[in-house]
Amino acid sequence: MQTLTARGASVLVTDLDEAAGRAVADEAVAAGGSAVFAPGDVRDSASWATWRDLALERFDAVHVLVNNAGVFGEETILSVTRAGWQRTIGVNLKGSFLGIKTFAPVIRDAGGGAIVNVSSAAGLDQNPDPAYTASKWGVRGLTKMASQEFGPWGIRVNSIHPGYVLTAMTDFASAAMRAAKIEMTPMKRAGEAWEAAELVAFLVSDAAGFINGAEIAIDGGWTSGSQATEARRFR
C-alpha cells in the first residue's frame, strides 16, 4: 500500500483485523502518505457500503480499487468442511465480487479508473487446497467478465497471480514447503511483497491505460510449467 501512497494516492485501508489494518495505515502516514483505516468484513455488503461512503467523504472521488483480501487452508476435497469452504470462497471470491459491484459505479462517476484483483498462481494452475483454488479461478473469471462490462465506463479490470511471495499469508509454511516452492520456481527464490505492489501500481497507472482483462503472473516462472502438483509431496 505504501507503494501507492508514495506515488501520491490517498488510500482507504480495510481489514477484519483492526490492529493489523491500523498498523498498515499508520505506517503509510508516518512515511508521509495519505491513508485512513476502516474495519469491516469483505463478505458483508454493509461493510462495502460503509467503505464507499467513507471514501467519498474523505477523498471526494475514487479511481482505484484493489481487491487484496485472501485466506486459505490445508484441506483436501474430502476433508474440507462446509464452514471452511464457505469462509475461503466468501473472503476470496465473494469479497472481490462485492467490491467490484460497490465501487464500479463510483469509479465510473469519477471519470474512470482501474480495478486490480489479486488472484494467485493457483488461479492459473492449482493448489492443494480445493476451496482456495476454486476461489482464485473464480476471481480470474470475474475479472474477465468485469473487464467487458465496465470497459465502456473507462474502467480497466485486471488480475495478478502471485506465486510464492513472502507475506504474512505464507508465514505458515513449513521449512520443507518453503524449500520445495523455491526449488520449483525457475528463478530459485521467493518473490517479495514490494514486487507485487509495483505491479499493482503499474496496472492502476496511466502507463497501463490499454491493459484490460489481463491476467498477469508474478511467480518467477512457476506457471510456465505445471509445477503446483509437486507441492503436494511437501504438505
Residues marked active site are found at: 132
What backbone torsions phi and psi does residue 77 show, to the nearest 5 degrees?
Answer: -60, -40
- 45, 70 contact by CB (below 8 A): no
Quick one: cell of 110?
A: 469519477
CA atoms within 13 A on the CB side of 19: 0
185: helix, strand or coil: coil
Give Cα 65 to chain centroid, integer Å.
Answer: 10
- 162, 197 contact by CB (below 8 A): no
DSSP bridge pairs for 158? 116
Where are the alpha helices (H) located in the chain, listed in sequence order?
Answer: 2-5, 18-30, 45-59, 82-89, 95-109, 130-150, 175-183, 193-203
Task: Please state, in angstroms and as integers, the Cα–Cα distance from residue 206 to each residue in 48, 114, 116, 199, 203, following that order.
Answer: 26, 10, 14, 13, 8
Termini Cα distance of the chain: 31
